[in-house]
Amino acid sequence: MKTSKIIFHLDLDAFFAACEMAENPQYQSVPIVVAKNDVYKKSIILSPNYLARSYGIKTTMLTSEAIKLCPNVQIVEPNMHIYTNYSEKVFSYLSNINKKIEVASIDEAYMDVSDICQGTETIDFAKRIQNEIMNIFKLSISIGIAPNKFLAKMASDMDKPFGITVLRKRELSTKLWPISISKMNGVGKKTFPKLEAINIKTIGDLANFKDMDLLKKNVGSSHALSLYEKANGIDESEVEYENYDKALSISNSHTFENNIFDTTYLKKALKYLVNSIVYKMSQKGLKTQTVGLQIKFSDFRIISRSRALDYPTDDEYIIFKMLELILEDNLPDYFEVRLMGVFASRLVESNISKNQFDLFSNRELIDSKSKVHELVNDIKSRCGEDSIGIGIKKSDLER
């Protein structure tokens, strides 16, 4: 009999602000925001501490708006070196007590504790983690506990700061479904209005939505199915902990010489990055089941988003379109991007993973694309990775 997994989502509370408070005791009892302290107070807030939040101050708010809400708020210049250092130390501590950990971003991680916890000892283990991180690093962490990654992620947001929340599948209708669809992990600013347009306003509305064709038409076939399953508590993605016997992921990134605020140019860079990881996969005889995107903004914010594919693939077009959707869904209205990276994970060998085609696939087109990819990869093998590409090459990114 298959037993349910026990997954933790560990989320460091108000991380940048918390690091500043840990480094500077004088900030413990005052409202602070981490942001560029520019003359005109037009910078974006990266992280307010919880005292600042009590005044209504939020992440991404302008510092000028924060000052109106709380005139004595202190603006602290961001120091990415400090935050990275704390992040590395915390996740090193976590990996020492359980190797099955997947770092999702600078301030959050997933942990599979199925093999080491059962019943009430699960809560005791979570409390131990919380208390030790507070005692050692002076940082608060919230923990969501659930049978899969999606539910654990949603649970960790339900009781902040320093909360522990258990979310069971039998509790979906009371704990998960009343939440606004805009708060659902995987629903970004582009997807949210598309769902709202078909009267999906809560996660429960999505879980019980009957017209799957309409849902697919609005948000895309693959994304529709993924969101629908997650709303119903289904998420088969694994915690991708380190495995030295197999390649964990293949990735590439590009740091721009100047900050980029042009979506078209970002998509151009995205094509190059996709070309590069697909080439690396072909060299290793691999296909990917999950693709992801990392964006570093000029104000030090870093986001990392990933989505599972319907089946393993090394098709550049499929991978690009999925990453393009992630990009569109996560770019704010005003942005300056400093770095963009892509990655492919949950890799499988090509010879045990055949491409699947639906009834309406154009087989001649698929075969011709396959031949083009083989030719391009052959030229790259003989002349170098940057010698040729489909649609874009690295020199096109020079600006």
User: Which of the residues are catalytic?
Assistant: 108
The sign of the dihedral angle between the CA atoms of 389, 392, 394, 396 is positive
User: Per the structure block, which two tokens stand in for 374?
Assistant: 């083989």
Burial of 179 (0-12, 13-18, 19+ CB in 10 A): middle
Residue where the block lists tokens 């090193």: 92
Q: Are 170 and 163 in contact (CB under 8 A)?
A: no
Length of the chain, please? 399
